[in-house]
Amino acid sequence: MVGRSFRVGEALFGAALVVGSLIASTAGAQAIRLPKTSTEDLPNGLRVVMAEQHTLPLIEARLWIPAGAATEPAGREGITTFTARLLTQGTTTRSAMDIARELDQMGASLDSEAARDQLRVSLTVLARQRKPALALLADCILHSTFPDDEVERVRTRLLADLQQTAEDPGALAEIALWRTRFADDPYGRRLQGAQSSLKAITAQELRAYHRDQLVPAGSILTLVGDFDAAAAKKELKKLFGGWKGGAAGGTIPPVTLAPAVRVVLVHKPELTQTQIRLGFPGLPLGHPDEPALIAAATILGGGFTSRLLEAIRVERSLSYSASCRLVQGGRSGLLRVSTFTKTPTTRETVDVALEEIRRFREEGPTAEELERNVNYLSGSVARSLQAPGDIAQSLASVAFYHLPEDYVALRIERIRAVTVDDIRRVAAIYFTRSDMALVLVGDASAVRSGLQGLGAIEETGFENLLQ
């Protein structure tokens, strides 16, 4: 991954001004107004989505390639992250130092990362540097060489990152929750890989993965900012028209969930706190229940006045933090409740969380809770679409997941249309004790006896999460 500090600070200070062109007041409520887009499908399968926005002298590009956890060979988990880290570390005509120097000279930022469904590349640059910046982006995607010395340098860094994760109980809890909920499904894999896979991946395998999986078919390139669409379209055709490759990854199978009602205790000796995660079924992006379930998760644990925070922090002082969030992908999702507490109050905190979820599921929200949280969500959605980069990201998501064209534009309206009955319905479906995973990371010797009655306990050492 390469990220360079870029000289657009003087332009970004005005990013808030973009809101005026995106968010308008309609009958006292906010509404989203996105810039007009144009779409071009190249013969090689790459879809290009462009939106001119001349508020700032800035260009934002996002490239989403269908190479994520689902495309990784068995025993080579983390190869997508490995690949992403190396895309900017050498091409047929540029060394890693050349790429870094050009980015600095242009004042640009070029980053790449792995996700569960795709590999994502982002470019931010001042408008006047559009042509050389896009040419550099194309070179890194089409002509990366994965030099042996860079492969070993990145491998060392990834293994060091893994060691840091071993010392982070919160990160361990997240890994354990996804693995518990999704078992052997790709969504259950750690995106950064494991010690065994990172040590085994060779430079030759990385080159083959790049050749076979990073292909134009199914990829999405979005461009937002201060440019002329007709001119940019010609440039992109010339730069990416020679990108070759068929459909990556083949048919992605339906998501596979682990058996429900699992209690997993991850032993990390001498911890004085316990990380607690509850995982309930989620849903994929674009699902009809999405607005209501997002609102439900926000009421339960999405803000400073949420039910979980009130019960766990304000009333009982068991923790500083308690949250509920809907995490979504293209194939499935996860409703995640997250908190932590001192070791002696582990069981009490779990019981309080479960009781609040039960009450919410059976009683639903009040009209006042719904109104307050819908207003909060509306403002949050508005803030998430303030800058050109936010828009580029949203356009990439819509195109990549084949969501309705009005998915972003009508998000606030759909959230505001949610009723108390909608919340009660989705709460009864998704927040069920019979379809829940409970994960705890702590000192098992101090926690184990207090978990009786929650279900059969599966115990594992934290090292097993990273091997």
All domains of the chain in start order, with CATH: 9-240 (3.30.830.10), 262-465 (3.30.830.10)
pLDDT of residue 1: 41
Cα distance between residue 107 and residue 90, in whole Å: 19
The token duo for 467 is 């091997």
Cα distance between residue 44 and residue 429, in whole Å: 42
Per-residue three-class SS string for 73-99: CCCCCCHHHHHHHHCCCEECCCEHHHH
Q: How many Cβ atoms from other residues are within 10 Å of residue 16's Cβ?
A: 11
Contact 276, 336 (CB under 8 A): no
Cα distance between residue 155 and residue 428, in whole Å: 46
Cα distance between residue 121 and residue 84, in whole Å: 8
Q: Which letter does DSSP use for residue 435 in this model?
A: G
Buried b (16+ CB within 10 A) or exposed e, 171-183: bbbbbbbbbbbbe
Collapse the DSSP code of 62 into the 3-class scheme (helix H, G, I; strand E, B; otherwise coil) and give the result. Answer: strand
Q: Which of 376, 201, 194, 187 is nearest to 279 (CA)?
A: 187
Q: Which of 374, 390, 367, 407 is nearest to 28 (CA)?
A: 374
Q: Which residues of the chain have pLDDT under 70?
A: 1-31, 247-254, 258-261
> Which phi-psi region, left, alpha or beta, contains residue 231 (left: φ > 0; alpha: ψ -120 to 50)?
alpha
pLDDT of residue 23: 44
Cα distance between residue 112 and residue 162, in whole Å: 18
The token duo for 369 is 């809770």
pLDDT of residue 184: 80
Please state whether beta strands 333-342 and 273-281 pair in parallel, antiparallel, or not at all (unpaired): antiparallel
C-alpha pair distances (Å), 342 with each of 213, 348, 418, 435: 45, 10, 37, 27
Cα distance between residue 327 and residue 284, in whole Å: 9
Q: Is 389 exposed, middle or buried (0-12, 13-18, 19+ CB in 10 A)?
A: buried
Q: Which helix (H) or strand (E) holds 340?
A: strand 333-342
Contact 411, 428 (CB under 8 A): no
pLDDT of residue 139: 98
Cα distance between residue 289 and residue 13, in whole Å: 37
Contact 277, 436 (CB under 8 A): no
Contact 1, 113 (CB under 8 A): yes
278, β-bridge pairs: 337, 438
Cα distance between residue 134 and residue 166, in whole Å: 38
453: Cβ contacts below 8 Å, ≥ 6 apart: none
pTM (two decimals): 0.90
